[in-house]
Amino acid sequence: MFSSRNFLPSHFVNRRVPSLMLRNSRPVLFQSSFSRNFTNVKDAEIRRKVEDVIQENSKDAESGHKADEISEDSKIPEKKVTSLGELVQKKFIDISKKLKKPKSSSHTSSAFGWKDIWNFLRNNWKQLILADILIALVVDKVSEYRISSAIENGTRPVAKVKDGQFVSRPQISETLKKVFQSEEDHSYYHVICGERGTGKTTLTRMEAKNVGKGVIYVDVPSDFENLGKAFGKAINLSFFEDTSIISLLVRKFFSSAMGVTGGESAISSYQWRRVIEIFRHASEMYKEKHGKPPVIIYDNVSRLVHKNSEILDILQDEAKDNADERTYIAVFVSSEGSVPRRMQLRSAWSRAEDPIEIGDLTEEESFNYLINKRKIDATEAGKLYDLIGGRILELKSASDKLLKGKSFEVVKKKIFTKTEDKFRKAKLLRKQVHFKAGKNVINALLNSKEISRIAFEEFFNRDEEAEEVLEKNIFAYHPERNTVTFQSRSIENYIRNNASMFIK
């Protein structure tokens, strides 16, 4: 059965709230939109009224509980309340004592339904509204300190690769370091791109951690509903709607009782927009203190380009505006050429620095990885490099199979089978819709290794067809040179292995 005593006090009282003095806070910078929505008066008046209410309640004991009080001789003098955190915590205790328990229903299950929630809200709405206002004030106060601290120290993401298998690439690392160590007059945003498996994320994470201070790293999630939380986590922000009792109950009512799921997407959309606004204000303070803007890295932005491309557009516009104002520097990291292609078509591209492309390992780096780090026989290492090239993710996968006892021929067959699936998805096999155009592109690349983007598009009847094929990881777009090549050496070797199908 639903218990009001168990529901609210544990939620409120057990929450540790830092003791932030009202007189030392700066509410103008990080005002919560929720606190503004609950009232139509100025924040200063809200804080004054709330403090007056709490102080009044802190002076005298609750008269309705005299029978349960201890004797006067053993009573401990009440501690004077001096901070917002202490005031809120005490008020939560008082509110929870006044909450009315909903009427018992016929069943004995501990679960509760939307009717119980409605009754609970109806009986305790005054206490809940006051509690939520208090939470909004606390979240505002705590946010200022936590966000400033997050930017000061940096996110410092951890690279998900074993130290013994990491291949250092000094030239690329130095380039990324210069981007992440911003200058006062830096007025551009950056795009880092490269094919899947080239090591972009690993190198980005490592240099973000090495630079540390002033660098915020956001890993864009695959699920849009988690986008707001990912942004908030990056700057250590606590969301009011995740701690508000009213918000949680309303969300439970609509998602469980009504079967509505769109509310979470709306909340996520609101959250990440709010984080961007908060980060902008915090960046102004950081720059004022350190004389240079902070840096925010959006990794895996290719997850936005297909289903949520409007969000990518907003982030690009924000990046351009804040580059103009020298407020912060945005860095976009993408593993698909469709991201820079989309960004290049928009006016906001005017503030983008030349793209930084991270490619495959050199032959020397590849052999160093295979022989010295993975302990692969030199002869087998040579075969792997001829088949795969310097694509680090493919080299790792092939090395794992060899070390498990698989022969080179078995590894080769698995790679070609996987590559054939890519051609099938791109509709480039015989009798498929893009076979003829794809065959012409393939022969052009075999002759010159690289063709212009315009030349690539001219092989297709419509630009949309060229874009569709370019997204299937058979060909790779290079924004810095505006050219197209094969996506990897394994792709080229598959084509040569099936010369009768693809080569004229």
CA-to-CA dists, residue 60 to 53, 73, 460, 482, angstroms: 12, 17, 82, 75
Please name which of 78, 85, 91, 110 lies closest in space to residue 3, comparing C-alpha atoms.
110
* pLDDT recorded at residue 29: 38
The mean pLDDT of the chain is 78
* pLDDT recorded at residue 502: 95
Among 315, 337, 357, the domain boundary falls at 357
392 within some domain: yes
State mean pLDDT over 53-68: 47
* pLDDT recorded at residue 362: 95
201 within some domain: yes
The residue to which tokens 């980060």 are assigned = 279
Which range has the worst mean pLDDT, 9-23, 180-194, 423-437?
Answer: 9-23
State mean pLDDT over 415-419: 97
**pLDDT above 90 (res 91):** no
Among 325, 357, 389, the domain boundary falls at 357
pLDDT tens readout for residues 104-126: 544 444 555 667 767 776 777 77
* pLDDT recorded at residue 63: 46
Among 357, 392, 421, the domain boundary falls at 357
Q: Please give the sequence-ordered ranges of beta strands (E in DSSP) within 102-225, or none if there are none.
A: 190-193, 215-219
Q: Are residues 432 and 290 in the same domain?
A: no
HEC string of 360-386 equals CCCHHHHHHHHHHHCCCCHHHHHHHHH
469 within some domain: yes
149 within some domain: no
Please name which of 299, 331, 306, 307 lies closest in space to residue 318, comparing C-alpha atoms.
331
Cα atoms found within 13 Å of the Cα of residue 493, Cβ hemisphere only: 17
Neighbouring C-beta atoms of residue 6, cutoff 10 Å = 10
Q: Are residues 296 and 371 in the same domain?
A: no
Q: Are residues 326 and 397 in the same domain?
A: no
pLDDT tens readout for residues 237-254: 766 555 555 555 555 554
* pLDDT recorded at residue 124: 72
Q: Are residues 175 and 201 in the same domain?
A: yes
**pLDDT above 50 (res 64):** no
State mean pLDDT over 429-449: 96
* pLDDT recorded at residue 252: 54
State mean pLDDT over 448-468: 95
- Say which CATH number the domain at 341 has: 3.40.50.300
**pLDDT above 90 (res 289):** yes
* pLDDT recorded at residue 117: 67
* pLDDT recorded at residue 256: 47
Q: Are residues 235 and 336 in the same domain?
A: yes
Q: What are residue 478's DSSP bridge partners?
A: 483
Residues 6+ apart with CB under 8 A from 33: 270, 274
Which range has the worst mean pLDDT, 48-52, 269-273, 303-307, 332-336?
Answer: 48-52
CA-to-CA dists, residue 11 to 86, 92, 190, 195, angstroms: 16, 9, 43, 46
CA angle 302, 306, 310 (to 5 degrees): 90
The residue segments making up the domain with residue 246 are 154-357
Q: Are residues 432 and 338 in the same domain?
A: no
Q: How far apart are CA 266 and CA 49, in angstroms?
A: 32
**pLDDT above 80 (res 72):** no
Neighbouring C-beta atoms of residue 414, cutoff 10 Å = 14
* pLDDT recorded at residue 160: 85
* pLDDT recorded at residue 74: 46
pLDDT tens readout for residues 144-166: 678 888 999 999 999 888 877 88
pLDDT tier at 420, thresholds 50, 70, 90: very high
pLDDT tens readout for residues 371-392: 999 999 999 999 999 999 999 9
**pLDDT above 70 (res 215):** yes
Better pLDDT: 55 or 119: 119
148 within some domain: no
Better pLDDT: 193 or 61: 193
Of the segments 64-68, 74-78, 229-233, 416-420, which one has the largest average pLDDT value? 416-420
* pLDDT recorded at residue 22: 36
* pLDDT recorded at residue 224: 78
* pLDDT recorded at residue 182: 86
* pLDDT recorded at residue 275: 84
Q: How far apart are CA 260 and CA 370, in angstroms?
A: 52
CA-to-CA dists, residue 119 to 132, 330, 373, 397, 412, angstroms: 18, 48, 65, 58, 66
Q: How far apart are CA 332 and CA 423, in angstroms?
A: 28
Q: Are residues 336 and 195 in the same domain?
A: yes
HEC string of 319-356 equals HHHHHHCCCCEEEEEECCCHHHHHHHCCHHHHHECCCE
Cα atoms found within 13 Å of the Cα of residue 102, Cβ hemisphere only: 21
Number of structural domains (the chain) is: 3
Q: How far apart are CA 242 and CA 164, in angstroms?
A: 41
70 within some domain: no
130 within some domain: yes
Q: Are residues 174 and 53 in the same domain?
A: no
* pLDDT recorded at residue 86: 55
**pLDDT above 60 (res 410):** yes
**CA torsion angle 109 112 114 119 (round to 10):** 110
Q: Are residues 338 and 420 in the same domain?
A: no
**CA torsion angle 352 354 358 364 (round to 10):** -160
**pLDDT above 80 (res 20):** no
CA angle 196, 440, 418 (to 5 degrees): 35
pLDDT tier at 367, thresholds 50, 70, 90: very high
Q: Are 370 and 384 in contact (CB under 8 A)?
A: yes
Q: Are residues 167 and 111 in the same domain?
A: no
Q: What are residue 330's DSSP bridge partners?
A: 296
241 within some domain: yes
Q: Are residues 331 and 195 in the same domain?
A: yes
Helices (H), 426-481: 435-448, 453-458, 463-470
Q: Are residues 431 and 412 in the same domain?
A: yes
